[in-house]
């Protein structure tokens, strides 16, 4: 082995230059041989810290990286045997001790299967796994002594982690080898996550099944361990560790536990089959994770990929995850424990990663009581993760999650929410009511346990296939605030729902929902769609199949509100000061949708943001709603007058003669943006222009059945509209003037 005194700055290979640690007097300008590290893939060395941290939306100091002396110690020189049968715990520890006493260096695991117990990483040690090396951790529980540690955001007793370090500096795990935690020996398995043949094979392998017959455990000790631990924990923190031994097989460890470490590098290796979480840096600073692969069976209980807890200055890039729980997860402690510790996870850059399976592709929470801030997630791909972008917390957590930027994300086949903000995690949420009927919940007092989500920007998000596009679900006493969705395009079964939210900006959002409204808002304020307010407050439920306000943005010619569009003529999408709009030529342009947006409503409001042209026909129908098989209809028109001003003409017909509202003395300027509104409260029809009442009258009009709506023309193809229409909004009540869409000030 070599004993040279020069040092190598590991992270400068392949162009990744970080700020060195304070040990600059010992640093050589030489880098380790590039052959020691896996290729970075397309783009090669161009992805360096200057790229990752350039033009960040928050200030971030450079990340310091490990300084590892240029010294090599091979574990086989200390008696390790890669035969898959010899227990190499002592040999590997001897190699690390020898290298550490010499001042540090690279401890090499060569090709072979090396069975071992727990490994402690020490300062200035790079545990390097060569290609073909498999570090296989023993499935024998007695190899893992019990320790006091932190797990799921609080103090915990666990078995010793397979690889661990506490208070170490300048440490690394590198190389193209594999680390396997033998998690199958520890984990329970739920029946619903397996096929029948898999479940039968698991039962035949041994272990026990719980009384319900739905969960398999590796042993009876593991199955009953939860009760044992609960009873011991109830006695307080001074219970001797030896008393927990009866539950050892239940006390599953995380596979990689790094606590209070500084200058850490994980590069190139595969981390798989962990007993609980896979990689858990806690209270660490200056951490680089790149080019790694993290694997767990999709059915693995608590099989998270990477859990960054109360860490700062972190870069995670060009990694691959296929796991059984959250893939890339940000945490900062749970409830009063996390608030007392008061260490946020902050200054984190997550770029160019792929998640093939996991509960969440990128997740914050639910243990976020110490706070989360200054996070950038960029150019990541999520394929079939249960949720794409997942924010979760609950009452009692406290803590603030803020200043997060997520951009250039692509997703496919998301079984639940493409984007989800859930402040009821672990408890009954409003959306657990029947689909389409979101139930309100009473507000609770605001205290230190009230969590907050605020100031989160998501831009350039693409998802093809999800159950629901977006769920923003705040607490009535603490709404989710300051969420921006910009250039978001999602196809899903259901659209976007906002409950208990404030100051939510939807910009250039395209949601194709196959059922229900594309966008619905409840108990929220300050929600805007391309600058047009979507009023909050309480929107009463109705006895119909849908109970939410619907906003249609006319920014494309394929779908409106998730409904397919049949084109008449050649209307076109144009950019306007009021946002994107569809322009109609007044001769042969129109749209037809096979949906009745007021179906089943005893009361309703129909609003449209329009810009009538001054040179159009005298009578111009811009909305026409009809009921299939009858003559019942709702119509809204502009009447162009000789002086090129216009008046609003509206019509309701339940049974002849119906009611027309038209007052030619009330005129409005053409070639400018206006909001035309029609309300019906079950007895009286009223219409408004720019929030000012232009007419009203009593008329009977019962709830409509299925039908269709035409935009820009009457359904018999007369009365063509000339001008632009940007937004149509349907509300399930007769809105008062003060809650109508305001006219944009342009």
Catalytic residue numbers, as ranges: 325, 359
Distance CA 495, CA 521 (A): 11
Burial 567-596 (b: 16+ CB within 10 A, else e): ebbebeeeeeebbbbbbbbbeebbbbbeeb
Among candidate residues 619, 612, 596, the one with its CA nearest the CA of residue 689: 612
Q: Is the Cβ–Cβ distance between 422 and 451 less than 8 Å? A: no
Among candidate residues 471, 277, 467, the one with its CA nearest the CA of residue 386: 467
Burial 158-172 (b: 16+ CB within 10 A, else e): bbbbbbbbeebbbbb
Q: Which two tokens stand for residue 581?
A: 């709009």
Task: Tell me if residue 466 falls in helix, strand or coil.
Answer: strand
Point out which residues pair with 513 in neighbouring strands.
492
Point out which residues pair with 258 in neighbouring strands.
165, 281
CA atoms within 13 Å, Cβ hemisphere of 212: 8
Q: Which positions ≥6 away from 702 have C-beta within 8 Å?
A: 602, 654
**Strand ranges for 500-641 from DSSP E:** 501-513, 519-522, 525-529, 532-534, 550-553, 559-560, 563-564, 566-568, 572-576, 579-585, 590-593, 604-612, 619-627, 633-640
Distance CA 651, CA 685 (A): 9
Q: CA angle, corner 409, sides to 408 and 413, nearest 5?
A: 155
Helices (H), 253-379: 335-341
Please provide the DSSP assignment of 127-159 as one string. Answer: EEE-TTEEEEE---GGGS-EEEEEETTEEEEEE
590-593 β-sheet, strand order: 566-568, 590-593, 707-711, 619-627, 633-640, 646-653, 659-662
The phi-psi region of residue 204 (left if phi > 0; otherwise alpha if psi is between -120 and 50; otherwise beta) is: alpha
Burial 297-306 (b: 16+ CB within 10 A, else e): bbbbbbbbbb
Among candidate residues 162, 161, 69, 164, the one with its CA nearest the CA of residue 107: 69
Distance CA 550, CA 566 (A): 20
215-217 β-sheet, strand order: 189-190, 215-217, 208-209
**Strand ranges for 590-741 from DSSP E:** 590-593, 604-612, 619-627, 633-640, 646-653, 659-662, 674-680, 684-689, 692-698, 707-711, 722-731
Task: Tell me if residue 93 falls in helix, strand or coil.
Answer: helix
Q: Which two tokens stand for residue 337?
A: 């424990």
Q: Is the Cβ–Cβ distance between 321 and 347 less than 8 Å? A: no
């Amino acid at each position: 082995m070599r004993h040279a005194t020069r040092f190598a700055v590991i992270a400068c290979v392949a162009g990744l230059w970080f700020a060195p640690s304070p040990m600059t007097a010992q640093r050589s300008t030489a880098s380790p041989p590039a052959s020691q590290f896996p290729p970075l893939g397309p783009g090669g060395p161009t992805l360096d810290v200057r790229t990752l941290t350039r033009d960040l939306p928050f200030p971030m100091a450079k990340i310091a990286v490990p300084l590892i002396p240029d010294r090599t110690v091979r574990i086989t020189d200390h008696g390790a045997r890669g035969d898959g049968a010899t227990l190499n715990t002592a040999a590997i520890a001897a190699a690390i001790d020898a290298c550490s006493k010499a001042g540090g260096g690279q401890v090499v695991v060569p090709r072979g299967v090396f069975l071992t117990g727990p490994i402690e990483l020490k300062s200035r040690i790079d545990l390097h796994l060569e290609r073909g090396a498999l570090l296989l951790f023993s499935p024998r529980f007695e190899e893992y002594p019990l320790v006091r540690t932190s797990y799921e955001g609080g103090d915990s007793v666990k078995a010793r982690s397979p690889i661990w370090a506490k208070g170490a500096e300048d440490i690394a795990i590198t190389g193209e080898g594999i680390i396997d935690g033998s998690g199958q020996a520890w984990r329970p398995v739920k029946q619903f996550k397996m096929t029948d043949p898999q479940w039968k094979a698991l039962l035949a392998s041994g272990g026990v099944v719980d009384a319900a017959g739905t969960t398999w455990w590796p042993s009876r000790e593991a199955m009953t361990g939860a009760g044992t631990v609960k009873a011991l924990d109830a006695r307080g923190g001074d219970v001797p560790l030896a008393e927990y031994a009866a539950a050892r097989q239940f006390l599953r460890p995380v596979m990689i536990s790094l606590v209070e470490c500084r200058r850490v590098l994980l590069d190139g290796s595969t981390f798989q089959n962990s007993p609980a979480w896979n990689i858990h840096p806690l209270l660490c600073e200056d951490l680089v994770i790149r080019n790694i692969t993290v694997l767990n069976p999709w059915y693995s209980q608590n099989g998270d990929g990477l859990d960054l807890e109360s860490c700062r200055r972190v870069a995670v890039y060009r990694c691959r995850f296929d796991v059984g729980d959250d893939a890339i997860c940000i945490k900062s402690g749970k409830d009063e424990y996390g608030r007392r510790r008061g260490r946020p996870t902050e200054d984190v850059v997550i770029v160019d990663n792929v998640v093939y399976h996991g509960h969440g592709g990128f997740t914050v929470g639910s243990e976020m009581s110490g706070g989360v801030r200054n996070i950038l997630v960029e150019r990541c791909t999520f394929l079939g993760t249960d949720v794409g972008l997942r924010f979760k917390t609950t009452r009692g957590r406290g803590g603030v999650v803020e200043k997060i930027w997520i951009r250039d994300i692509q997703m496919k086949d998301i079984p639940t929410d493409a984007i989800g903000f859930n402040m009821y995690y672990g408890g009954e949420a409003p959306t657990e009511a029947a689909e389409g009927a979101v139930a309100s919940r009473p507000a609770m007092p605001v205290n230190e346990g009230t969590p907050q989500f605020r100031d989160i920007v998501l831009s350039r998000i693409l998802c093809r296939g999800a159950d629901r596009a977006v769920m923003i679900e705040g607490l009535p006493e603490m709404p989710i605030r300051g969420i921006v969705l910009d250039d978001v395009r999602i196809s899903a079964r259901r659209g976007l729902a906002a409950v208990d939210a404030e100051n939510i900006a939807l910009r250039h959002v395209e949601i194709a929902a196959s059922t229900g409204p594309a966008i619905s808002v409840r108990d929220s304020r300050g929600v805007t769609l391309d600058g047009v307010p979507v009023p909050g407050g309480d929107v009463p439920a109705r006895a119909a199949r849908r109970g939410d306000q619907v906003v249609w943005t006319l920014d494309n010619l394929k779908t409106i509100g998730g409904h397919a569009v049949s084109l008449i003529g050649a209307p076109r999408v144009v950019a306007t000061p009021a946002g994107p709009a569809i322009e109609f030529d007044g001769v042969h342009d129109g749209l037809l949708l096979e949906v009745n947006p007021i179906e089943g409503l005893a009361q309703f409001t129909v609003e449209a943001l329009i810009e009538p042209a001054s040179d159009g026909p005298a009578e111009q129908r811009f909305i026409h709603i009809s009921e299939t098989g009858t003559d019942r209809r709702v119509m809204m028109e502009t009447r162009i007058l000789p002086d090129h001003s216009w008046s609003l003409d509206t019509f309701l017909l339940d049974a002849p003669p119906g009611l027309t509202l038209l007052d030619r003395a009330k005129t409005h300027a053409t070639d400018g943006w206006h909001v035309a509104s029609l309300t019906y409260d079950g007895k009286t029809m009223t219409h408004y222009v720019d929030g000012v009442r232009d007419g009203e009258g009593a008329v009977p009009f019962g709830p409509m059945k299925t039908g269709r709506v035409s935009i820009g023309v009457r359904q018999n193809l007369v009365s063509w509209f000339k001008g632009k229409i940007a937004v149509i909004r349907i509300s399930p009540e007769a809105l008062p003037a003060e809650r109508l869409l305001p006219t944009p000030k342009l």
